Structure 1
Amino acid sequence: MSEQNPPGLDLPRLAAYLERERPGLVRGPLGAEVVQGGRSNLTYRVTDGTGRWVVRRPPLGHVLATAHDMAREHRVISALRDTPVPVPGTVLLCEDPEVLGAPFYVMDHVEGTPYRTAEELAPLGAQRTREVVLALPETLVALHAVDPHEVGLGDFGRPEGFLERQLRRWSKQLEASRSRELAGVDELRGALGEALPDSPRPTVVHGDYRLDNVLIDADGEVAAVLDWEMSTLGDPLTDLGLLAMYSERQDVPDSPVSTTSGAPGHPSATELIERYARLSGRDVSQINWYTAFAYFKLAVILEGIHYRFTLGSTVGAGFDRIGELVPVFIDNGLSTLRKG
């Protein structure tokens, strides 16, 4: 349901800015609603009663410089517009924080459903679920086939030493929120460092590629890939490893970390990896390292949430159970890495 001025979005100021920058785009009073399920950035669905758009801005109270984040998302989506990768069309980028209190960008609204849980997928039935999920590696192959230089993204990241930097970054994150003994986490981190694979040719990587970051249309096709805030140039198999991790069954009853892997008909991680390999022609023989690294990253993220919860700075349903999940993901990472 649309509302006037949801938190972080002053609609009269937005309308005035759009009229100045894109005369005639807005044809009536704006209404908006917050789109649930976003990550760190806020997402709003905006309409004038005829047209519909989506606005993205940093979270409220963010004290870090955020213009780069918004510009980065806007840049990669705009660059991919004329490629086989389905992305929303971009309308404009505003880096002036005076308009809405933070930089933001506007993109076209795309019809589609983000499936976030096995329960949401279940009504599709086993066969349709299988087809929907198998579309994910196909779209990922299309992304990794884009030549960054041809679309103006040749300087979008520093692919040299990408995996080393990633492991170092997440290790620092771990230390920043480490407040208890975590059995196996140092073993996992050390083993990942000792077994760093040689990266293939760098590509544009999404950074958080999974089913609930894409929109599925009525035909079961990927209508748009969303949430590009972690995108960069780097090792494409990090995207595949993360997709594989989220596609493995997690034996945690009523887990607050939602996955779709338990839905009837959901392809296994192995099937998704094999489909990607067949369509891309890439060597995926080291995929267990990338999947184990994805488990390590998620364990670090969850430990950070748990740490903030213990400080009383994170409230809400399920946060009290996050801490018990961290050892599960550490163990899964170790067992995956031991497969070789």
Structure 2
Amino acid sequence: MSGAGPATAVSALDEAALLGWMDAHVPGFRGPLRAEKFPGGQSNPTFRITSPSGGYVLRRKPPGQLLKSAHAVDREFRVISALAQTDVPVPRALALCADDTVLGTMFYVMQEVRGRVFWDPAMPDSNPAERAAVYDAMNAALAALHSVNVEAVGLQDFGRPGDYFARQVSRWSDQYRASETQRVPAMDQLIAWLGSNRPPDDGRVSLVHGDYRIDNMIFSADAPKLLAIIDWELSTLGHPFSDLAYQCMQWRLPHEGDFRGLAGVDRIALGLPTEEAYVAAYCARMGIDAIPTWTFCLAFSFFRLAAILQGVLKRALDGNGSNPERGLKMGKAVPLLAQMACDLVEAKG
């Protein structure tokens, strides 16, 4: 992880309290320590911890009143602990603190993974060969994640059984309404369309990341090797196509302003795969022919991202966001995302 900045008042850590806790709970830790907040992490504030014994990363719940089931850092800790025994690259989980009296909210500590984070999916500082290799590595890791035997790694109860998309549309509709700050007609239209056009449950269930995109990954500093997938807050047992569609949404988002999409980018010249090629590579790895519900999966992805950003906006307005200024800017994207989804389903008839 890279790009740590100075801690801000809204999320600064009590370093003395953290030092005592890490002395008692993190094997091999030696103080003193210094905590610096990463500038990202709109949902769960994230800190780099430096000490004589090495580098660590701390993820905590934000302060203030939170939406039900949100900011589940304990679930993050559990899933990366379980995945350590698989081929899915994750940081090494070290210790979880469920005692709110230590730092004010629940948190966990993991080993720091040093490498590159590609904040822009167009990878402007890379060459075509490296871009192609990075995207293929992401595709392979996604297929590996969706192939994990959840019972073998102890995650068979990591999500509720039943129709994933039905549960998710209901959950995120509720979350959106709970954080709604103004009426967005396109969002109302999209929620109604998703409820009326949900495909029958096909029985596919896998571990899903929930926020699978290039800037939630750390690559080797000198090779297109994926070292770690991070930010597992939204992970659960669900439908594997939701992860694929969520990542492929970036092919359709604008490549301007606060958006880090690939729309309008000359992907062939850059060595980036088309959305069709990326989906085909995933299908080949998973041993399936195609994804017949692709339009619904994409529309759902736009909807869920819009609902997430609405929550970010609400936290920023309430004064307990991790990065309030950026949160206010991100929240303005909600109407655009909803309208893009409505345009997508209208174009598909």
Alignment TM-score > 0.5, same fold: yes
Q: Distance in 1 between matches of 2:71 and 2:345?
A: 35
Q: Distance in 2 between matches of 1:329 and 1:200?
A: 29
> CA offset at residue 194 of structure 1?
2.4
Identify the residue that residue 84 of structure 2 maps to in structure 1: 81
Contact 2:205 2:237 in 1 (8 A): yes
Closer/same/farther in 2, CA of residues 28 and 320 from structure 1, 3 Å limit = closer
Closer/same/farther in 2, CA of residues 250 and 309 from structure 1, 3 Å limit = same
2:115 maps to 1:112: yes
From 264, 283, 295, the equivalent of 1:288 is 295
Residue type at the aligned position of 2:85: D
Identify the residue that residue 278 of structure 1 maps to in structure 2: 284
Work out the percentage of aligned pairs sharing the same amino acid: 36
Identify the residue that residue 132 of structure 1 maps to in structure 2: 134
2:46 maps to 1:43: yes
Closer/same/farther in 2, CA of residues 91 and 193 from structure 1, 3 Å limit = same
Q: What do the CA deviations read for 1:220-273 (whole angstroms, capped 9, x no partner)?
A: 12110101111111111111110111232427xx43233366473332222221
Identify the residue that residue 243 of structure 1 maps to in structure 2: 247
Residue type at the aligned position of 2:105: A
1:45 aligned counterpart, secondary structure = strand
> CA offset at residue 111 of structure 1?
1.6
Identify the residue that residue 308 of structure 2 maps to in structure 1: 301
* TM-score, normalised with respect to structure 1: 0.86
2:144 maps to 1:142: yes
Q: Which moved more, 1:6-15 or 1:107-116?
A: 6-15
Contact 2:251 2:275 in 1 (8 A): yes
Contact 1:256 1:321 in 2 (8 A): yes
2:61 maps to 1:52: no
Q: Distance in 2 between matches of 1:75 and 1:304?
A: 24
Which runs of 5 or more structure 2 residues have no equivalent in the other structure? none
* TM-score, normalised with respect to structure 2: 0.84
2:25 maps to 1:15: no
Q: Distance in 2 between matches of 1:93 and 1:310?
A: 29
RMSD of aligned alpha carbons = 3.1
Shift >6 Å, 4+ stretches = 1-6, 64-68, 307-314
Identify the residue that residue 326 of structure 1 maps to in structure 2: 334
Which runs of 5 or more structure 1 residues have no equivalent in the other structure? none
Contact 2:180 2:314 in 1 (8 A): yes
2:124 aligned counterpart, secondary structure = helix
From 157, 164, 172, the equivalent of 1:155 is 157
Contact 1:67 1:103 in 2 (8 A): no
Q: What do the CA deviations read for 1:147-171 (whole angstroms, capped 9, x no partner)?
A: 1111000111103122111111222
Q: Distance in 1 between matches of 2:334 and 2:6?
A: 38
